[in-house]
Amino acid sequence: MASPITLHLDLASPYSWFALDAADRIAAEHGREIVWNPVPNWAVLKAQGIHPPLASPVRTAYLMADMVRSAAFLGVPYRHPERIPVSSVLPARLYHTIAETDVAAARVFGRAVFEAYMLHGRDISEETVVREVAESLGHDGAFVSEGMTGADAKARLFAAVDRAAADGAIGAPFFVLDGEGFFGVDRLPQLEWRLKTAS
């Protein structure tokens, strides 16, 4: 079986959200699966020595407008969050904790986090919000608490950031196909092209 495509993404990144469905479709058409590695984008950029994308007012203004435009262009449901950016540390830790035993359940949780932020404007940096999302999916309260703040959960996220940095990630979403990196939702056509040439 062909190796999976790794997707380094941020659960608070609009561009990561925009890429999900199209990436799944492209991968499935070529007999690949996509493996998520949720990480806080700022942590990966810090590891790579790159300034945050919203550090410049003029770039911030452009990206804020581009997010709305990109969602419309791609046909992805999106409600521009009132607060952006927000930290995805807590949901990312919990994602990796869930994925330790059930990757499918982790993916369901990850999508629910995206929807809470991208569609309903909920602040996913808040522990109470992440807890409500997880418990609505049937995850036990004690498990959720440990998965957000426990030492093992923190270690899992550190390891995930290290994996993203080692793969050369320079932002989110960042796809790795057979060792080759593709940065951004706008690189999906190139990812699809590479898959066609590799088959």
Show the CA angle centred on residue 181, arms to residues 76 and 9, nearest 5°.
Answer: 45
Contact (CB, 8 A) for 33 and 5: yes
Which of 3, 13, 16, 88 does the annotation list as catalytic? 13
- Residue 136 designated active-site: no
Which region, left, alpha or beta, applies to residue 48 given φ > 0 means left and ψ of -120 to 50 means alpha?
Answer: alpha
Which region, left, alpha or beta, applies to residue 178 given φ > 0 means left and ψ of -120 to 50 means alpha?
Answer: left
Q: Please give the Cα distance from 184 to 187 (Å, whole number).
A: 5
Contact (CB, 8 A) for 82 and 121: yes
**Residues identified as active-site:** 13
